[in-house]
Chains A and B, each alone.
Chain A
Amino acid sequence: MLKDYPGASTTLPDDRPIRRRRLSVRGAIVAGMVVAWTVALAGCMATGPGRPIAASGTGTPASMKRGFENLLQAVVRIDVREMTFEAGATRLSSGVGSGVILSADGLVLTNAHVASPRAVEISVTLASLEQVSATLVGWDHWTDLALLRIDMADARRRGLAFSVARFGDSEKLLPGQTVFAVGTPHGLTRTVTKGIISNTDRYFEASDGVRGFETGYFNTWLQTDAAINPGNSGGPLVTEDGAVVGINSRTYLGAENLGFAIPSNTARLVMQQLVEHGEVERSYIGLIPGALRDLESFFELATNTGMLVNSVDPGSPAARAGLRPGDIVLAIDGEAVDGRFPEQLPPIQNRIASYAVGTRVVLSVKRNGSAAQDFPVTTERLESRVGEEWAFERWGMSVRKVSRAYARENRLPAEDGVIVIGTQPAFPAEKAGLSRGDIITRIKGEAVESLEQLKAIYAAFEQAPESILVEATRNRSVSFYVLKP
Chain B
Amino acid sequence: MMVDACSLFAAFRRGALALVLAACAVSASAADLPPLDRLFAERVRSVVAVEYFVETETDRHPSTVVGIVADAKGLVVLLDTAIPGWLPAAQLKDFLIYRPGTSDGAPADYLGQDHLTGWHFLRARGGLGEGVVPCTSYPTAEPVVGAEIWGVGIMGKDFEFQPYLQSGHVALVQRLPQQIGSSVTEIASPGAPVFTRAGELLGWAGASNAQERLLYLENERYTVGLQNPNATGSFILASEVLPYLDRVPAAPVGQPVPWLGVIGLQPVEREASEFLKLGNRSAVVISDVIADGPAARAGVQQRDIIVALEGRPLPRFSPARVATTFLEREILLRAPGDTLTLGLVRGGAPLEVTITIGRQPKPLKEAERRYFPRLGITLRESVLYDLISRRMEGSAERGVVANFVKPNTPAATAGLRANDLIMAIDNQPTVDYARAIEHMSAIEDDALRSEFVLLISRGAETQVIRVRLR
Residues of A near any B CB (own CB < 8 A): 288, 290, 294-295, 298, 308, 310-314, 325-326, 368, 408-412, 433, 467, 469, 473, 475-482, 484
Contact = CB atoms under 8 A, between A and B. Distances in A.
A476 B275 CA distance: 22
A310 B459 CA distance: 13
Size band of the interface chain B makes with A: 20 to 34
A310 B464 CA distance: 6
4 shortest A-B CB distances, which residue pairs?
A477-B264, A480-B272, A411-B391, A469-B275
Given A310-B461, A326-B455, A368-B427, A482 B275 contact: yes
Given A298-B466, A476-B391, A480-B272, A409 B266 contact: no
Contacts of B388: 476
B462 interface: yes
A314 B464 CA distance: 17
B173 interface: no
Interface in B218-258: none
Interface string B22-65: 00000000000000000000000000000000000000000000
B400 interface: no
A205 to B, nearest CB: 13
Interface in B427-470: 427, 451, 453, 455, 459-464, 466, 468
Contacts of A325: 423, 455, 462-464
B171 interface: no
A469 B424 CA distance: 45
Contact of A481 (B263, B272, B468): B272
Contact of A433 (B269, B302, B423): B269
Contacts of A408: 460
A469 B276 CA distance: 9
Interface string B366-395: 000000000000000000000010111000
28 contacts: A290-B463, A290-B464, A295-B464, A298-B426, A310-B462, A310-B463, A311-B461, A312-B462, A313-B460, A325-B423, A326-B427, A326-B464, A368-B427, A410-B460, A411-B390, A411-B460, A433-B269, A467-B275, A469-B272, A476-B263, A477-B263, A477-B266, A479-B266, A479-B285, A480-B268, A481-B269, A482-B275, A484-B271
B303 interface: yes
Contacts of B390: 411
A477 B287 contact: yes
B200 interface: no
B413 to A, nearest CB: 13
Contact of B460 (A295, A409, A475): A409
B288 interface: yes
Interface in B263-310: 263-264, 266, 268-269, 271-272, 275-276, 285, 287-288, 302-303
Given A311-B462, A476-B287, A479-B285, 14 more contacts: A290-B464, A298-B426, A298-B453, A298-B466, A325-B455, A325-B462, A368-B427, A409-B460, A469-B276, A476-B264, A476-B391, A478-B266, A480-B268, A480-B275
Nearest to A471: B303
A297 to B, nearest CB: 9
B462 A411 contact: no
A409 B301 CA distance: 26
Given A326-B464, A411-B391, A477-B264, A298 B451 contact: yes
B461 A480 contact: no
B414 to A, nearest CB: 11
A265 B299 CA distance: 61
A475 to B, nearest CB: 8
Contacts of B460: 313-314, 408-411
Contacts of A477: 263-264, 266, 287
B287 A482 contact: no
Contacts of A294: 466, 468
B193 to A, nearest CB: 36
Contacts of B275: 467, 469, 480, 482
Contacts of A469: 272, 275-276
Contacts of A409: 459-460
Contacts of B461: 288, 310-311
Nearest to B288: A476
A336 B242 CA distance: 75
Most buried by B among A469, A477, A480: A480
A433 B392 CA distance: 29
Nearest to A477: B264
B271 A482 contact: yes
A400 B135 CA distance: 57
Contacts of A412: 391
Contacts of A290: 463-464
Most buried by A among B426, B461, B463: B461
Contacts of A484: 271
A467 B273 CA distance: 13
Contacts of B287: 473, 476-478
A176 B253 CA distance: 66
A199 B264 CA distance: 51
Contacts of A410: 391, 460
Contacts of B263: 476-477
A476 B453 CA distance: 33
A78 to B, nearest CB: 35
Contacts of B423: 325
Contact of B424 (A311, A326, A478): A326
Given A480-B285, A481-B272, A295 B453 contact: yes
A412 B392 CA distance: 11
Contacts of A476: 263-264, 287-288, 388, 391
B398 to A, nearest CB: 15
A412 B390 CA distance: 10
A286 to B, nearest CB: 11
A480 B269 contact: yes
A375 B453 CA distance: 24
A288 B272 CA distance: 43
A478 B302 CA distance: 9
Nearest to A469: B275
Contacts of B276: 469, 480
